[in-house]
Amino acid sequence: MLMAGFLSGATGFGFSLVSTPLLLAGGFSLPFVVAMNLSLGLLTRISVAVHLRAHLTPRRVWLLTLGSLPGLVLGTVALTRLDPAFIRRAAGLVVILAAIGLARGGAPIPSRTGAPLLAGVAAGFLGATTSLNGVPPALLMTRERAAPMSFLADLAFFFILSNGMTLVLLHNRGAVELASLFPTGALWLPTALLGNFLGVRLARRLPERIFRAVALSVIAVSGFIALIGA
């Protein structure tokens, strides 16, 4: 939880990248791990959203959240009709290629209404199928050359809204293990918050070029884990 909180604090996303393989290796069930990631990811983002609210881009956050709604539905349908392993491999490959393409540089793209909506759809779909719902927004903001603090603020507000909606959806389907919220989640929350605090402090000190390189590295590793974990 300390490592997961630190990574998500420093880059704005990647909480599940650290926690998922370790919790699964520790013998916890997948429904438990998913609910834990969503709930702790949401709670650790609240403090970031409050402290960095002055850097928020409300239009981008609302468009991302709006797009994630059909993405969640599409992801749920895909899981019932397609081979989940195929979906994870395809998603992981796309994420890796996108990270490589962005790492090669290029002029920043202007912010358009369609881009956050499409990124939101992809985020909802990946969130339902691979738990990588932070990758598409991170790719979008990296391509737009968003300032690090704006990057962190927008992702924090997006995770609060998106993770909350996903938890409600899973709860309505009876797919949330309550033990992942209490007492286990409550016991692990202080450690995750500490890691998140330290990560945000580091992010404030990182030059923009290094911050972007770290974010792209985390994106690429996320895609690689989705690829080999299928």
User: CA-CA distance, 10 to 210, in Å (whole number)?
Assistant: 11
Would you place residue 120 in the very low, low, confident or very high pLDDT band (cuts 50, 70, 90)?
A: very high
Would you place residue 206 in the very low, low, confident or very high pLDDT band (cuts 50, 70, 90)?
A: confident
Least confident of 37-51, 61-75, 84-98, 187-201: 84-98
Q: What residue segments make up the domains of the chain, in order of their start?
A: 2-228
Would you place residue 161 in the very low, low, confident or very high pLDDT band (cuts 50, 70, 90)?
A: very high
Sequence-separated (6 or more) residues with CB below 8 Å from residue 42: 159, 160, 163, 164, 167
Would you place residue 177 in the very low, low, confident or very high pLDDT band (cuts 50, 70, 90)?
A: low
Give 90-137 as a 3 state SS string. Answer: HHHHHHHHHHHHHHCCCCCCCCCCHHHHHHHHHHHHHHHHCCCCCHHH
Which has the higher per-residue pLDDT, 223 or 204?
204
Is a pLDDT exceeding 70 seen at residue 92?
yes
- For residues 68 and 197, is the Cβ–Cβ distance under 8 A? no
**What pLDDT shows up at residue 96?**
80
Is a pLDDT exceeding 60 seen at residue 106?
no
The pair of structure tokens assigned to 220 is 């690429």
Percent of the chain with pLDDT over 90: 22
Which has the higher per-residue pLDDT, 131 or 177?
131
User: CA-CA distance, 129 to 104, in Å (whole number)?
Assistant: 28
39-65 pLDDT, tens digit per residue, is 888 899 998 999 999 999 999 999 999
